Amino acid sequence: MTVGRREGAKERGGGGGSSELRPAARTAPGGAARRWGRRSARPAPRGCAAVEPRAVRNMKVKVISVLEDNYMYLVIEESTRDAVAVDAAVPKRLLEIVRKEDVVLRAVLSTHHHWDHARGNEELVRLCPGLRVYGADERIGALTHRVAPDEELTFGAIRVRCLFTPCHTSGHMCYFMWEDGSPDAPALFSGDTLFVGGCGRFLEGTAEQMYANFTQVLGNLPKETKVFCGHECTVRNLKFALKVEPENEAVKKKLAWARQRDDEDLPTVPSTLQEEFLYNPFLRVTEEAVQKFTGRKEPVEVLRALRTEKDNFKKPKERPHPQAMLAFDWGLFAPFLEKK
């Protein structure tokens, strides 16, 4: 992955910026070399020698900061200038980026139904005729295509595999993206299942489900996979990770880096799966230090105890009401803030 020039600093509640990702899957989730709808090379014209296929690099990810600490993503297929949005919570901000990038928004992928991830769907469908909205939960607003576990989608050169990860909500879906023929890392849009250094709350599921998500679904993806999560909560997560494993040097190093990024108002996404297994306690439930902290040995029980501890760990300071943050993003307060 290459990181492109940002549009500006990440702003709490409405800023935007971009990282540039050109991902690919050399291996399928699980590491086995599978061909998922892989297109074969065209035969060379008569009288011409066959040409070795070149690496394809058509996919770019724009990281868009909105609301209190949410991320939306705009995934651009550069050869066609078509785009797909992930978790389109604030349509006004998303469409600003769409216009600036001079792309056509073709689809929205919603990880789950919560308002801070899917509230913008209805307005986007109204403003963009023919827009497709994908998700696994009927509670997702303006849903046009309900996806099934392991279903595969195609957007130009971009391939998407839908990974069902119930627990935070009963219909949570992560999206694994890659390009055929590209040498670069694939991308995982993990919503509120996996965060940098943490995981989502178990609102509609169990520790058993989240453990299965981590070990049987996300844990089987290529370790170089870039993780784009739904919230910027890395510093808080890593402070908890340091409490769990105070001698873990990977945690200390990542926390120092994340604090610096936070001070500079810059995002901490993406991480990689390989990195997460070094400092994310929710992926380290078989480690002796994590088990000692929880007083448990069985992995699911360790995970359950960790989540309980995290839920009670240093409640964040009082913040503006989420609806007020949304109003700021939509520009509703602009007339009152203009200088006279």
Active site residues: 112, 114, 116-117, 168, 192, 231
What backbone torsions phi and psi does residue 66 show, to the nearest 5 degrees? -140, 165
Q: Residue 282: pLDDT band by 50, 70, 90 thresholds?
A: very high
Average pLDDT taken over every residue of the chain: 84
17 pLDDT exceeds 70?
Answer: no
Q: What number is the average pLDDT over the span 173-188? A: 94
Rounded Cα distance between 283 and 194, Å, is 10
Q: What is the pLDDT of residues 294-323, one digit of tens each?
A: 999 999 999 999 999 999 997 555 455 556
pLDDT at residue 102, rounded to an integer? 97
pLDDT at residue 181, rounded to an integer? 87
84 pLDDT exceeds 90?
Answer: yes
From the CB of residue 214, how many other CB atoms can be counted at a distance below 10 Å? 24
pLDDT at residue 32, rounded to an integer? 33
Enter the pTM of the model: 0.81
pLDDT at residue 103, rounded to an integer? 97
